[in-house]
Structure 1
Amino acid sequence: MDLLFWITIGFIITGFVILASMKKGMESKVAFIKANIEDEGNSSKAKSVIFWILSTVAWGIVSMSLVVWCFKNYF
């Protein structure tokens, strides 16, 4: 197999592991923000949740691009 294939598989698996490990923490941050709407300390937690969502979207886009690139090279 080619190096591109292994980079793609490694990137996707690593991303899933990181997302799964961070999911519970993000759920608790969202629950805290929803429970304390008027609290001034929510902005840092909200920023971290937004950054996590944007990172997840970026990971998904890069993963899809790598898969398309692999199919383009092998088929």
Structure 2
Amino acid sequence: MTVEPCAMCCGAALHARVARVVYGAADPKAGAVESLHRLLDDARANHRVEAMGGVRAAEAAALLREFFETKR
């Protein structure tokens, strides 16, 4: 993934029993892995998803910035 998953994406990963999520850029507005919430670390969930963020973060942030600049 390019950006940190939101709450709905984290919920889907938990329900689908995804083993690992790898993403580039953090999402300070809606990120639910480490920015706003830590949903994948919640002990109440019956499944654990390994999460690795910051992979090629600068490139991911640039890609997101470029995408949204073309939308405006």
TM-score (norm 1): 0.28
Bigger share in strand? 2
Higher RCO structure, 1 or 2 (CA under 8 Å, sep 6+) = 1
TM-score (norm 2): 0.29
Bigger share in helix? 1
